[in-house]
Amino acid sequence: MMNAYVDAYRRADREPEVVDQEDVEEQYLYSRVRASEELRRQGNPEEVVLQAIMDADVEAALASLPDAFRAAVILADLEGFTYKEIARILDVPLGTVMSRLFRGRRLLQRALWEYALRTRQLPPGEGGEGR
């Protein structure tokens, strides 16, 4: 009997807390995060991550892209939107999104080639060819 009680207690402890759906507002987690003083001091998580991975050279290369290509690349590669979502956001056909992404990524690759060489981001043997 004791083991059965302990097993039931542990099983109940592992299960997530059940909350009535009416008690939880639509933006419950968002409001909890905003209310957290510690998280508020750390700033916007998206900006913190972008600042950590975005070197000044990378930011400059991204800023050098034409607006249409930059928007597509940011929405796809930094924001994680699907092609359909990007087409809806930019109000362009799906094929245009794919074309802009291809061309924008190619321009970004060319702009970052020297940066990749300088920071040793290229695999061995790709020192000068492939631009």
Count of domains observed in the chain: 2
Least confident of 29-33, 42-46, 124-128: 124-128
Same domain, 56 and 108: yes
pLDDT 10s digits, 57-111: 778 888 889 999 999 998 998 888 999 999 999 999 999 999 999 999 999 988 8
pLDDT surpassing 80 at residue 3: yes
Tell me, yes or no, whether 59 and 112 share the same domain: yes
**56 against 92, higher pLDDT:** 92
Whether 63 and 112 map to the same domain: the answer is yes
Domain of 96 in residue numbering reads as 45-118
In a domain, 62, yes or no: yes
Query: What token pair was written down for 116?
Result: 């990749």
Our CA angle for 98, 76, 100, nearest 5°, is 30
Q: Quick one: how far is CA 97 from the chain centroid? A: 18
Q: What is the pTM of this model?
A: 0.53
Residues 30 and 86 both lie in one domain: no
Q: Which secondary-structure segment (H or E) carries 53?
A: helix 45-53
Are 33 and 54 in a shared domain? no
**Is 84 domain-assigned?**
yes
Residue-wise pLDDT for 6-33, tens only, equals 888 888 888 877 767 666 666 666 666 6
Q: Does 33 share its domain with 56? A: no
Of 131, 127, 129, the closest CA to residue 111 belongs to 131
State phi, psi for 80 to the nearest 5 degrees. Answer: 80, 20
Residues 7, 38 share a domain: yes
Q: How far is CA 61 from the centre of its chain?
A: 18
Query: Are residues 68 and 110 located together in one domain of the fold?
Result: yes
